[in-house]
Every structure is written in structure tokens, then in C-alpha cells.
Amino acid sequence: MLQQLDHVDNVRRTVAPGIAQKHKAEFGQFMTPSSVARFMASLFPPSTLPTCRLLDAGAGVGALSCAFLDRWVAGGFAFDAVEATAYEIDDTLRAHLVQHLAGYSRVTANIIAGDYIELAAAEGLQDRGYTHAILNPPYKKINSQSAHRLALRSVGIETVNLYSAFVALAVAMAAPGGQVVAIIPRSFCNGPYYRPFRDFILERAAIRHMHLFDSRNKAFKDDEVLQENIIIRLERGGQQGPVTVTTSTDDSFSDIATNEHPFERIVFPDDSERFIHVPTTTEKSTIELSPAVRYTLADLGIKVSTGPVVDFRLKEHLRDMPEAGTVPLIYPGHLSMTGTVWPVPGLKKPNAILRNDATEKWLYPNGFYCVVRRFSSKEEKRRVVASVVDPAAFGDHSVLGFENHMNLFHENKRGLPELLARGLGVFLNTTAVDESFRRFNGHTQVNATDLKLMKYPSRDALIQLGEWAKRHSEITQEMIDEQLGKLSA
């Protein structure tokens, strides 16, 4: 039997290419392929409610609502009737949406023309009785003084993107026990900007299921979206328990793998940032199993911070090459696993920063530091790439600027003893650390908080690794990994 969703998907394929890129950018909307819509509808638990009240905000041509209703028609839910509320701002898409929802009996469809954020915020944050919500919200940054930002602020939602605003509103409008399934970018899982959103969600809902695509461009391949997406199911007011995590290579879901994890593996209990990790296996990593790796950075007397120089904020103080009155400014491009090269002509980044009253507080004394890049691409072999900053590279400069795209290990804003810095670099460059990081973080950013929450060898063991590294002019990955195996507790 040809389900309504198949018809909707044909419409999506016809309509989507006709939507100008400018128009897509304006609304930030990408339409859901039928395979993703079907999978999302399959994540809702069985329900015996007499009436389902379904919310689809930013409904497009109705793929998600139709996937949900097709499951119901096929006997997947025991509702007697469905009241569907669908918001859609785009007139062209809404005409198709009206037609598609009219194709079901026992469905009362309330289709609302307009901006979901403005309309929902105007009603105030309260339970609207939605038992189910299914969302593919728009993806677009919200400017700090925009009407959206002000409308959200009026109901106590602080967030930086339309997608997180849609999810926050849907959770707020759900009835107790209401189920919310959304496909959204992975970016909300970590980073400071989404912290208020994470707090909002975790206070009001339990995470029940997360699905991760191994390939970052497969969920919306027709729209060429290069964004790592996650499908999440939340339960309004639910008691948080274990979380099911599934992964598949792409939107065919043909190689789906399922694991269950205790919640403290998803949000670490001592993490004030409340980063959301998506572990992809239940096996313990080499690092977790090593008796020698059991110390915190606090135990070692080491701190880790994000590089303090945010270049666009200090633009007028930056210089392409060193000149009188400047000091070295270090970017990831100056560093490799083998050492520090500075200055680098033609780097496309400034090599120096003026030392003055405006910059002084962001500068560190010249010395040995261990640094880890904050950003890598999904395709890169390694997430964790550590380098040692060698003071000899900077001549007689007494202070250094560290740019914001790196994390910096230091002792109270001063350099580390040389052997400790070198040993830390060796440990962080082991395959075991990289695998452990990928397994529990999944995101392509390496944040200072992630490094803070890791366990390390003892200070003495790190110094021994540093002595070993200093004796060898060339070090291979194999040699590094072998050294980790030799560490004793």
C-alpha cells in the first residue's frame, strides 16, 4: 500500500529544488526525507491514549506528521483520534501541508500560518496538552537583538539558534509524559552558547533515545547539508534513567547498532557545563582499564584553559608579522606534534599581537606549555592533537599570546616544567586517548571541560614520559602507544 508519506516525499523532491537558496537561508528550513521521517516516527513508544494531540512546528509539506499518522493507520498506536497542530510560515509549503493532512480520517488538523517562535512565545510558556511532538526545526542563528531573541527571552528561553528555540518551546508546551522527537544539529551537545538550552531541557525532560549518523552529510543529502545531525527523543517531566543510543552510517538505517548507557555516561555528574556525550559503544576504553591512568588534573596541580586571545575582539592589536612593541601570537598553525615554528610567513593568520594595556591581561609568560587544538573536522584521523610549546622558538620574548582555537595546560597561568609538558604531550597523543575521546564525546570539538574531566597518569609518570620523549629525536605513533603500555600505577 502506498502510504501518504510516499506521496509527500515525491512532493518534497519536486518542491525542494524550486526553493531558492536565498529563501532557504532566510527560513533555515531543510525538508525531511521519508526514510528519516519514518525512523523518527518509529521512536515514539506505544501509546494507549484515546486522543493523541500532535505538534509539528515548522511542518514544511508535512513529512513528519504523515510519517507519524501512517504509523497510526498501520496499527502502530491505539489512539481513537488525532488532533494535529502544524505550524508553517511558508505559503507554498503550507498549501501542500493542508492537502496532505486532509488525506487522513479521524484527524482534526489545525494548520497555523505564521512564525512558531513568535506565536508560541506570545501564548506564554505553559502546558498546551501536546502528547506527541515531532520536529525538524529550522537551523539558523538568532541575532542577539532580533525579535526572536526578545520573544524567547520574554518566556525565559535563552538560546542562539532557531532549532534549539523550537525544541525548548515544544518541550514547554508538551503535557506531562509528552514525547518529543526532533532531528537537530549536534552543536547543542557542547560549548558554552548552548548551556542555557541544555539546562532548560534537562530540567524539564528526560533524554530517552539519541541516534547519531556516522556520516555528517547523509541525513539531508538532497540539500547538501554539511551538519552533524542527531535525532533525540525527550519525555516531558520524565524520570531520567538509562539512555538508548543508536548509530547508523546514513539515512537508510540498514546497519543500525543499539547500546544502552547509564545517564552518568551521557552527562557527567561533576560537569557544571552539562555537556551531552553520545557514546557509541559500551566497551570500556584502554584508558579506563589502565590502572596507571587514574589522576585528575587537580591531583597533578595542572590547569587547562581555552586560549584567551579572541582575535576578532582584538583586531586592531594584531599584526601579520612581528614588529616593535609586539609579542608572539600562537595559532594551531604554528604547532605540530614535533614542535613550534614561529613566525610563519604567509600563515593567513597574524603572527604577533601588540603588548599594551588592552592586551596585557590575555598574555602568558613565555615557557613550556602543552596545547591541544579545539577544532578538527569529522574526517580527520585524530580528535586530540597535542603539541608542546617550546620557549626557545620565541627568542627573548617574555610573554606569549595564545589564540582561542586551542586549549592550554598551565600551572596557575605560568608554564609547566619542561619534562611535564613533554610527557603530557606524549600521553595526549596516544591512540588510546584519542579513541576514548571519540567514543564518549563524538563531537569534533575538544573543549577544556572535556580535558578537565579526563583521567591522567601521575605527575611522576608524565615526567618519565617527558624524559623518554626528550631522548628521542623522532617519535612514531607506535612508539608513543608502546610507552603507554609500560606505565605502572
Rg (CA), the chain: 26
248-275 pLDDT, tens digit per residue, is 888 889 999 999 999 998 998 878 889 8
Lowest mean pLDDT among 106-110, 281-285, 482-486: 281-285
User: Does 95 score more than 60 pLDDT?
Assistant: yes
pLDDT score of 17 = 53
What DSSP line would sit under 70-117, residue for residue? HHHHTTS---SEEEEEEEE--HHHHHHHHHHHTT-TTEEEEEEES-HH
Kindly give, in sequence order, each residue whose CB lies less than 8 Å from that of residue 386, ignoring residues fewer than 6 positions away: 337, 370, 371, 372, 424, 425, 428, 429
147-174 pLDDT, tens digit per residue, is 999 999 989 999 999 999 999 999 999 9
Q: Are 467 and 459 in contact (CB under 8 A)?
A: no
276-290 pLDDT, tens digit per residue, is 988 877 777 777 778
pLDDT interval class at 226 (50, 70, 90): very low
Q: Are 237 and 176 in contact (CB under 8 A)?
A: yes
The span from the CA of 455 to the CA of 173, in Å, is: 41
Paired residues of 330 in beta bridges: 402
Question: Domains of the chain by range and CATH?
Answer: 4-265 (3.40.50.150), 286-486 (3.90.220.20)
What DSSP line would sit under 19-66, residue for residue? S-HHHHHHHT--PPPHHHHHHHHHTSPP---SEEEEEEES-TTSHHHH
Kindly give, in sequence order, each residue whose CB lies less than 8 Å from that of residue 180, ignoring residues fewer than 6 positions away: 132, 133, 134, 135, 167, 170, 171, 174, 205, 233, 234, 235, 236
pLDDT score of 452 = 87
What residue has cell string 543508536?
246
78: Cα separation from own chain's centroid: 36
pLDDT score of 44 = 98
**Average confidence (pLDDT) over 4-23:** 57
300-334 pLDDT, tens digit per residue, is 999 999 999 999 999 999 999 999 999 999 999 99
Which of 448, 335, 351 has its CA nearest to residue 400?
Answer: 351
Kindly give, in sequence order, each residue whose CB lies less than 8 Å from that of residue 70, ignoring residues fewer than 6 positions away: 3, 4, 5, 38, 41
* Prediction pTM value: 0.76
**Average confidence (pLDDT) over 195-212:** 96
**Torsion sign (Cα): 144, 146, 151, 152:** negative
User: Does 180 score more than 80 pLDDT?
Assistant: yes
